[in-house]
């Protein structure tokens, strides 16, 4: 639908935002060997792309050094916990006040089962994974203009939509509307399938019954002994579903990227970055703000200053350079590469995104509403509420993702607010779905990616036209420099894209290095 109305570029961007255009081509560990004797590589950025490059190049025999802007490794692979301090552009500082063990992942927060490279590195680095609950049939769908603003259970909307569509299709088949497509035998098989799929009765109707209630749930569940008899629930009318627009929210769970199984690192997404960091101990120089990247026929020279204290400019040299600095930052740095790569660096905009983590005094979503993990979707600006996929049934404070906005006017407007205002808005809007918010709220933290100092945005927003004009130039080895990161991939915004980009870049760089050494 998006493609027909707005064209292929808009369709691709929508798919990428939802995670739909994101299939991994990883087939196993990279095999590099025979690094030129004494060859040195400078890696700029200790995010996943940079640390993947450093990890594999060191194993191949290169001498590696990483320059990192932050005082930690991981980049957008990041978790905020109680006791952490975070200062955004503009100087606003947040002191995270979460209880011990609680955290929020401001950046990536889930790993699809077919993101093979990230999962492989997790196994190789000993990162423990646990299931991430994407679709929860007992979570909510919410539209402010539908059902009086009252949230509806996902299972109700999904079951009723399937049932009504099955009934309509069965009616069309029985009236001969599909005779030009189906033989009599095929039509009968279709009707049998629709009856099963849509929970239709013997007359191919979707009406309240034990059969439909086994899909959508009962008003009174079956019990035992002399408990009240089970009472089937009443399906929502098809017109009410179509007018509500909730059919679109149901469909999000069918996207390839969100199919089960999905995983998360136990204890926080930054477990991946920390595992790489342990492997690369001693190779990372922190608080190194790159100011210039120059190259000659023989070496690369990178100038940098201390990001905390400033002071005199320093320099690091190497034979080769893998630069993983986001384009939103790299475009502000003097980089000595050819015009095609310079134009590519400057051409790609970055998307806006905001996440708000809210800590509550108790897990009311579990205790009061029987929601264990999963995501509630709403047309309110907060867009999503994601319930924790760990710590089920535990007592005491817990953190949920109270807002996740990306690539729309709401994300930009929310970014313009102070961190405290963002938290307040998330609580106010979330209370329209969960009235318990106001009474149970304890503390919150917000991250607006346009205000994050080391990226000034969330992820690279390619279009078809931009890729056609600049993508190959961006990914080319320019002299002794190659770029890597999610911005140099067809899987934007995902860790898998960063890792695959890095593996591809270092293989091409290694090929050039060994060829020149042999010449």
What is the model's pLDDT at position 23? 53
Structural domain ending residue among the three candidates 412, 433, 451? 451
Supply the range of the domain harboring residue 434: 80-138+260-268+351-451
Q: How many CA atoms lie within 13 A of 199 on its CB side?
A: 20
CA distance linking residue 498 with residue 492, whole number of Å:
8
Assess whether 440 and 380 both reside in one domain.
yes
Residue 144 falls within a domain, yes or no?
A: no
Kindly state whether residues 264 and 381 are assigned to the same domain. Answer: yes
CB 505 within 8 A of CB 341: no
Instruction: Look at residue 161 in the predicted model and tell me its pLDDT.
Output: 96
Q: Please check whether residue 158 lies inside any domain of the structure.
A: yes
Residues 301 and 356 in one domain: no
149 lies in some domain: no
463 touches 9 (CB < 8 A): yes
Residue 6 confidence (pLDDT): 41
| Residue 252 within any structural domain of the chain | no
Residues 6+ apart with CB under 8 A from 236: 152, 156, 157, 160
Domain presence at residue 369: yes
Task: Mark which of 209, 244, 279 sits at the end of a domain.
Answer: 244
Q: Are residues 355 and 437 in the same domain?
A: yes
- Cα gap 415→450, rounded to integer Å: 7
The pLDDT, as a whole number, for residue 28 is 78
Residues 85 and 53 in one domain: no
pLDDT for the residue numbered 260: 87
Model pLDDT, residue 417: 97
Residue pointed to by tokens 């997790």:
122
pLDDT tens per residue, range 11-42: 434 444 444 444 577 887 898 989 999 999 99
Same domain for 475 and 342, yes or no, is yes
Q: What is the pLDDT of residue 10?
A: 42
Question: Does residue 90 form part of some domain?
Answer: yes
Does residue 145 form part of some domain?
A: no
Q: Among 431, 378, 490, which residue's Cα sits nearest to residue 152?
A: 378
Same domain, 358 and 435: yes
Provide DSSP, 415-433: HTS-HHHHHHHHHHHHTTT
CATH of the domain at 413: 3.90.660.10
pLDDT tens digit sequence for 231-259? 999 999 999 999 999 988 988 878 888 88
End residue of a domain, out of 186, 210, 244: 244
Q: What distance in Å separates the CA atoms of residue 498 and residue 494, rounded to the nearest whole number?
A: 7
For the domain that residue 24 is a member of, what is the CATH number? 3.50.50.60
Q: In terms of domains, do 179 and 228 share one?
A: yes
Number of structural domains the chain divides into:
3
Regarding whether 465 and 344 lie in a shared domain, the answer is yes
Are residues 171 and 318 part of one domain?
no
Query: Does 443 share its domain with 368?
Result: yes
**One domain for residues 235 and 355:** no
From CA 190, how far away is CA 127, in angstroms rounded? 47
With b for 16 or more beta-carbon neighbours within 10 A and e for fewer, the 91-111 pattern comes to eeebebebeebbbbbbbbbbb
Rounded-to-integer distance, Cα 143 and Cα 140, Å: 10
d(C-alpha 365, C-alpha 400), whole Å: 10
Per-residue confidence (pLDDT) for residue 16, from 0 to 100: 43
pTM over 0.75: yes
CATH of the domain at 203: 1.20.1440.240
Could you tell me if residue 251 is inside a domain?
Answer: no
Q: What is the pLDDT along the chain (519 residues), one digit of tens a residue?
A: 344 434 433 443 444 444 444 457 788 789 898 999 999 999 999 999 999 999 999 999 999 999 999 999 999 999 999 999 999 999 999 999 999 999 999 999 999 999 999 999 999 999 999 999 999 999 999 999 999 999 999 999 999 999 999 999 999 999 999 999 999 999 999 999 999 999 999 999 999 999 999 999 999 999 999 999 999 999 999 999 999 999 889 888 788 888 889 999 999 999 999 999 999 999 999 999 999 999 999 999 999 999 999 999 999 999 999 999 999 999 999 999 999 999 999 999 999 999 999 999 999 999 999 999 999 999 999 999 999 999 999 999 999 999 999 988 999 999 999 999 999 999 999 999 999 999 999 999 999 999 999 999 999 999 999 999 999 999 999 999 999 999 999 999 999 999 999 999 999 999 999 999 998
């Amino acid at each position: 639908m998006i493609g027909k109305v707005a064209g292929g570029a808009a369709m691709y961007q929508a798919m990428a935002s939802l995670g739909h255009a994101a299939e991994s081509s990883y087939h196993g560990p990279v095999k590099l060997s025979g690094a030129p004797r004494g060859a040195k590589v400078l890696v700029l950025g200790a995010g996943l792309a940079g640390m993947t490059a450093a990890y594999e190049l060191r194993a191949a025999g290169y001498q590696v050094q990483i320059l990192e802007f932050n005082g930690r490794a991981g980049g957008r692979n990041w978790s905020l916990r109680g006791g952490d301090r975070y200062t955004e552009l503009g100087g606003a500082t947040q002191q995270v006040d979460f209880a011990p063990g609680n955290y929020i992942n401001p950046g990536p927060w889930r790993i699809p089962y077919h993101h093979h490279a990230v999962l492989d590195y997790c196994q190789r680095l000993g990162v423990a994974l646990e299931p991430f609950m994407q679709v929860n049939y007992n979570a909510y769908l919410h539209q402010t203009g539908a059902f009086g603003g009252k949230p509806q259970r996902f299972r109700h909307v999904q079951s009723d939509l399937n049932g009504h569509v099955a009934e309509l299709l069965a009616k069309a088949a029985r009236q001969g509307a599909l005779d030009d497509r189906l033989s009599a035998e095929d039509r009968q098989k279709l009707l049998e399938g629709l009856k099963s799929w849509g929970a239709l009765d013997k007359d191919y109707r979707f009406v309240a019954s034990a059969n439909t209630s086994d899909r959508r749930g009962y008003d009174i569940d079956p019990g035992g002994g002399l408990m009240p008899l089970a009472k089937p629930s009443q399906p929502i009318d098809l017109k009410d579903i179509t007018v509500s627009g909730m059919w679109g929210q149901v469909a999000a769970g069918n996207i390839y990227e969100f199919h089960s199984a999905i995983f998360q690192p136990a204890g926080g997404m930054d477990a991946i970055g920390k595992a790489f960091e342990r492997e690369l101990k001693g190779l990372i120089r922190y608080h190194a703000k790159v100011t210039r990247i120059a190259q000659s026929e023989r070496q690369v020279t990178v100038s940098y200053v201390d990001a905390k204290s400033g002071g005199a400019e320093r320099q690091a040299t190497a034979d080769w350079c893998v630069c993983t600095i986001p384009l939103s930052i790299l475009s502000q740095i003097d980089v000595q590469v050819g015009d095609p790569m310079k134009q590519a660096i400057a051409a790609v905009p970055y998307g806006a995104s905001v996440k708000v983590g809210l800590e509550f005094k108790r897990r009311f979503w579990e205790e009061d509403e029987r929601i264990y993990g999963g995501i509630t979707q709403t047309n309110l600006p907060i867009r999503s509420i994601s319930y924790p996929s760990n710590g089920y049934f535990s007592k005491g404070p817990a953190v949920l993702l109270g807002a996740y906005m990306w690539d729309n006017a709401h994300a930009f407007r929310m970014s313009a607010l102070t961190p405290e205002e963002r938290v307040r808005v998330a609580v106010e809007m979330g209370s329209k779905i969960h009235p318990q918010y106001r009474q149970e709220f304890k503390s919150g933290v917000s991250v607006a990616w346009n205000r994050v100092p080391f990226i000034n945005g969330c992820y690279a927003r390619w279009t078809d036209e931009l890729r056609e004009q600049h993508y190959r130039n961006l990914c080319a080895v320019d002299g002794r420099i190659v770029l890597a990161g999610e911005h140099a991939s067809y899987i934007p915004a995902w860790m898998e894209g960063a890792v695959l980009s890095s593996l591809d870049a270092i293989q091409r760089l290694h090929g050039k290095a060994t060829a020149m050494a042999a010449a």
